[in-house]
Amino acid sequence: MRQETFDLSHDITLVYGANGTGKSSFCEALEVAMLGSISEAQVKRVDQRTYCNNARLRRHVAPVLSARGADEVEVVQPDESEYRFCFIEKNRLDDFARIAARTPGDQRQLIATLFGVDQFSEFVRGFNPSLDQDLMLVGAQASQLAQRRLQLASSEQTITAYPQKIAGVEGLEHALAQRMSPGATYQVCVDWLLGTPQQQGRLPYVQAQLDAVPPAIHEVTKAQLQALLAEAYRLQGLWQESSGQLASRAGE
């Protein structure tokens, strides 16, 4: 058997030849070197060592695959999970060639089997058609940020309106001060009403008078009070009469 050299500079490389020239053996040698097993032997339930033995010599040499890098040559270690995607079984290709005659469900299954994702496809079927109700589509921090921005906007409006509110309060204070004492300032009126550390205010003075115990009244009866009240009314009548006479004479 002579050595063969393949040109791998193109995206696709075809290996062809007559029956028995070793095409399948070459692919299975790559499969053993990269995966550590041969799927055809597993399907036929044949021991891998027996499957690989030469039919005449009853023995074989385990294939070794090496990869040449920029600086050194590295032997490829078999890894089923790493290199399984590199191989597609013959029966998968045969079924895929007749995929147009299958139902949509069978077509999906064939495609999943062809690319070795049938288990993943079965796993995906267990999900609901829509996952929106189970997903957190609105971030919690984004909602908090939006609320903080609304609070900040409200605070900015309050700060902007603060000078106008202060001006309105000052106007009310000035109007109240003019009602109490024309020409006086609001602070002067406050000091007069509430007082200062040096001077008692009018409000504390009046409150103290109201809270004070009234003086005791001696020798006063109801009859005396009524007599005094009647005398006061009589004197008020005389005063009003005299005031009327004086006004009449002044008019003459």
Q: 0.85 exceeded by the pTM?
A: no
Count of C-beta atoms within a 10 Å radius of residue 120: 11
d(CA 98, CA 83): 27
Please choose, from the candidates 21, 28, 58, the residue with its C-alpha nearest in 3D space to the C-alpha of residue 43.
28
Exposed, middle or buried, 56 (CB in 10 Å: 0-12/13-18/19+)? exposed
H/E segment holding residue 162 = helix 140-180
Q: What is the pLDDT of residue 148?
A: 93
Please choose, from the candidates 113, 108, 122, 119, the residue with its C-alpha nearest in 3D space to the C-alpha of residue 94.
113
- Which parts of the chain register pLDDT below 50? none
Reported as a single tens digit per residue, the pLDDT across 157-191 is 999 999 999 999 999 999 998 988 888 899 999 99
Q: What is the pLDDT of residue 16?
A: 86
